[in-house]
Amino acid sequence: MGPTLLTALALMLIIEGIFPFVSPAAWRQTFLRLASMADGQIRFIGLSSMLAGVILLFVLS
């Protein structure tokens, strides 16, 4: 499980870094809009992201 978890972490970091590397100005604007959202909206985005990940893991395994 260790190497698989580290591989998943590495892939997540690569994917997270693509957008700010390719378009830093758009990333900054997106981040500023996210920072101005209410806590409930941010929680909903986080929950949606987690559910999408769980569904993707379920489908792939």
pLDDT string in tens for the chain (61-residue length): 688 888 988 999 999 999 999 999 999 999 899 899 999 999 999 999 999 989 988 898 7
State in Å, rounded, how far the first CA of the chain is from the last one: 15
Decide: 27 and 19 in contact? Cβ < 8 Å: yes
For residue 3, the one-letter residue type is P
Q: Report the SS3 class of residue 31.
A: helix
CB contact burial 21-40 (16+ within 10 A = b; e otherwise):
eeeeeeeeeeeeeeeeeeee
Using the Cα atoms of residue 57, residue 13, residue 31 and residue 26 in order, give the sign of their dihedral: negative
